Structure 1
Amino acid sequence: MRPRPTLGSPLHILLLACSFALAGYAGVRLFADDWRGVALWLVGAALLHDLVLLPLYTLADRAVVRGLGGHRAGVLYVRVPAALSALLLLVWFPLISGMVEDRYRSATGLSTDGFLARWLLISAVLFGGSALLLAMRVRPLARGRERGRPRRATNRRPPADH
């Protein structure tokens, strides 16, 4: 017999209802101004992602797996900083690229000059930290193999007589 799903606490239900109400309000406001443009943007973004970006980052991921000799455990040490760096690029692209320099300067009085350097620095720190974690993980394994020990010690017991 399958367990019945629980509804949740009253606070959980209230927060869920508020989030749906906020999303609905945002959707109504967004579609009120230019619903055709928004719908076109959503469809275009979905098609761009599914037909162009997904195959590209699938190929990049397979190249990383092959580059690491098929060791899937080390792939996460490349995937995570790459995903975080790509997310930062996606969010801050107009400022990183300098495409909105005049608009940004008129709104804030600041320049967009430092955004590219900061994004590159953050990306370098993410990849460097990931490489350091990978090196710390691999080093004890390599030291154990140098001493002639297997990767994981197992307790060998004689079979139990029944």
Structure 2
Amino acid sequence: MRRPRFALPLGSPLQILLLACSFALAAYAGVQLLAGDWFGVALWIVGAALLHDLVLLPLYAAADRALVQAAGPRRSWVGYVRVPAALSLLLLLVWFPLIGGQVTARYASATGLPADRFLPRWLLLTAVLFGGSAVLFLLRLRWASKRQSVD
């Protein structure tokens, strides 16, 4: 039996209920977020989208292209650099004001916690991400070499 061309891919009733609940929660959060300074929030969202699409996306696409070209024919290790770099840069992007030390006084007055720990923790987390990726890569190489010697 042939499906209609414009059929909606609806799942189970539980999926529809969860989707409706997530839309309701998103609408509630949007109303609460925009209640105070709606123009500032809208400007921030538009600015963030433009900054990402016009500046950041071309930068990390060029960096990824350079990484793939530098790898040459042995591209199997690219993912072992790409994933920890992406996670580390995402954390840097989210926590940049605190990592950069730009809002330490405001953070300390609002929370009562010191804000000077974000840079060392981000650096440590970045080192752990790249170190774990290197260990996984070495284990993969070792497993592949053992498999080749058995064959």
- TM-score after normalising by structure 1: 0.78
The alpha-carbon distance between structure 1 residues 76 and 18, as it changes in their structure 2 partners (threshold 3 A), is: same
The aligned residue for residue 118 of structure 1 is 121
- Corresponding position: 1:85 with 2:68: no
Between 1:65-74 and 1:118-127, the stretch displaced more is 65-74
| Distance in 2 of aligned mates of 1:71 and 1:39 | 45
Could you tell which deviates more after superposition, 97-106 or 116-125?
Answer: 97-106
Measure, in 2, the Cα distance between the counterparts of 1:77 and 1:83. 11
Q: In structure 2, the residue corresponding to 1:8 is in which secondary structure?
A: coil
Structure 2: distance between partners of 1:71 and 1:5: 43
- Count matched residues: 148
Q: Which residue of 1 aligns with 2:103?
A: 100
**Within 2, Cα distance between the matches of 1:31 and 1:5?**
32
Is residue 2:81 matched to residue 1:75?
no
Gaps of 5+ in 2: none
TM-aligned CA deviation for residue 24 of structure 1: 0.8
Alpha-carbon RMSD across the aligned residues, in angstroms, is: 2.3
Aligned equivalents of 1:106, 1:30: Cα separation in 2? 22
Mapped to 2, the partners of 1:6 and 1:48 lie a distance apart of: 34
With over 3 angstroms needed to count, the CA separation of the structure-2 counterparts of 1:123 and 1:105, relative to structure 1, is same
1:75 aligns to what SS in structure 2? helix
Q: TM-score, normalised by structure 2?
A: 0.83
Name the aligned partner's letter for residue 107 of structure 2.
Answer: Y
1:1-162 equivalent positions in 2, closer than 5 A = 1-2=2-3, 7-142=10-145
- The whole-number CA distance in structure 2 between the counterparts of 1:68 and 1:6 is 41
Take 1:23 and 1:7, find their aligned partners in 2: how far apart are those partners? 20
The CA deviation string for residues 88-116 of structure 1, in whole angstroms up to 9 with x for no partner, is: 11222222122221122122322111111
Give 1 or 2: higher helix fraction.
2
Percentage of matched positions with identical amino acids: 68
Aligned to 2:10, the other structure's residue is in SS state coil
* Cα pair 1:95 1:115 within 8 Å, conserved: yes
* Structure 1 gap ranges (5+): 154-162
**Which moved further from structure 2: 46-55 or 85-94?**
85-94
- Give the conservation status (yes or no) of the 8 Å contact 1:95–1:112: yes
Residue 159 of structure 1 is matched in structure 2 by none
**Which whole-Å CA distance do the structure 2 matches of 1:11 and 1:143 have between them?**
47
* CA displacement at 1:139 relative to structure 2: 3.1
